[in-house]
Amino acid sequence: MTGTSQMQVSDKVAITIDGMNKWYGSFHVLRDINLTVYEGERIVICGPSGSGKSTLIRCINALEEHQQGSITVDGTLLSSDLKNIDKIRSEVGMCFQHFNLFPHLTILENCTLAPIWVRKTPKKEAEERAMHFLEKVKIPDQANKFPGQLSGGQQQRVAIARSLCMMPRIMLFDEPTSALDPEMIKEVLDTMIELAEEGMTMLCVTHEMGFARQVANRVIFMDAGQIVEQNEPEAFFNNPQSERTQLFLSQILGH
């Protein structure tokens, strides 16, 4: 299984993070992060709470500023130039822990909003594409409902569809399943696995180790703002190198 997924990884670089440092005030959250993500790669990021996982992926689509080092997404250097930021954001889709759907818009409107206003897609085309992705996440029949009328799992799938409608080349997931009931987690993970199989570049913060084993090319373990260890899933889980990782895995798998 790991074999098949690795085959889709190309040599083209999707994201390069180079010597990145970030501070919140005087608190050093991210320390000297170096990371290269190739197109089609699926990366799972894990680590204890507060270790900076969310901050890292939020830096990638400029929801947070970084203070040192550079981030290059798809050849575009992330700088304070708004043009670049806009460009990167439309290449990178993001999916939040709490979905953050727009409650005043229907599912369909949620999905077509950004294509229409950012990509200037004609409405009809945007809607067709939205329906396509809603079918992909298996909720085309909910298109005209409001987010408040859906279950958590359905909402998270809408959030994924919403990002996909922007046709991003890279998807970021920040603990997409941790706000869900166990039975809904499965729905969402299935959707993500399907995406993974299509070769989407994915960075995913999650503690679902089953998911990591099944789809990831690489697992990154962070602690105290640093990347402590990264490896292929098999090696990572069966044979963690650092002590910190071993401790963390023992806790997580012990549950």
Ligand X SMILES: Nc1ncnc2c1ncn2[C@@H]1O[C@H](COP(=O)(O)OP(=O)(O)OP(=O)(O)O)[C@@H](O)[C@H]1O
In the complex, the residues that contact ligand X under the rule CB under 6 A are 24, 27, 29, 47, 49-55
Binding to another protein (CB under 8 A) within 13-32 occurs at 21, 23, 25-28, 31-32
211-230 residues near another protein, rule: CB under 8 A: 217-218, 224-230
Residue (of 227, 242, 188, 226) closest to 210 by Cα position: 188
From the CB of 30, what's the least distance to ligand X, in Å? 8
Q: In 3D, which of 146, 106, 148, 147 has the Cα closest to residue 127?
A: 106
> Per-residue x/- mask for another protein, residues 169 to 198, rule CB under 8 A?
------------------------------
Count CB neighbours of 152 within 10 A. Answer: 17
206 in contact with Mg ion (CB under 5 A): no
Site string for another protein, 144-173 (x = CB under 8 A): -xxxxxx--------x--xx--x-------
Residue 51: what are its φ and ψ, rounded to 5°?
-85, -5
**Burial of 183 by CB count in 10 Å (0-12 exposed, 13-18 middle, 19+ buried)?**
exposed
Helix extents (H) in 198-239: 209-215, 233-238
| Only segment of 45-53, 93-101, 190-198, 199-207 that touches another protein (CB under 8 A) | 93-101
Binding flag, residue 100, another protein (CB under 8 A): yes
Identify which range of 129-137, 188-196, 231-239, 247-255 contacts another protein by CB under 8 A. 231-239
Among the candidate windows 61-69, 179-187, 196-204, 205-213, which touches another protein by CB under 8 A?
61-69
Cβ 202 to another protein shortest distance, Å: 15
Q: Considering only residues 12, 102, 181, 197, which one is a binding residue for another protein as defined by CB under 8 A?
A: 102
Q: At how many degrees (to 10) do helices 123-136 and 107-117 cross?
A: 130
Query: Least distance from C-beta 102 to another protein, angstroms?
Result: 6
DSSP 180-194: S-HHHHHHHHHHHHH
Closest to Mg ion by CB, 47 or 168: 47
Report the C-alpha gap between 76 and 78 in whole angstroms. Answer: 6
Rounded to whole angstroms, what are the CA distances from 102 to 26, 30, 153, 162, 204?
34, 30, 16, 11, 22
Q: Least CB distance from residue 178 to ligand X, whole Å?
A: 8
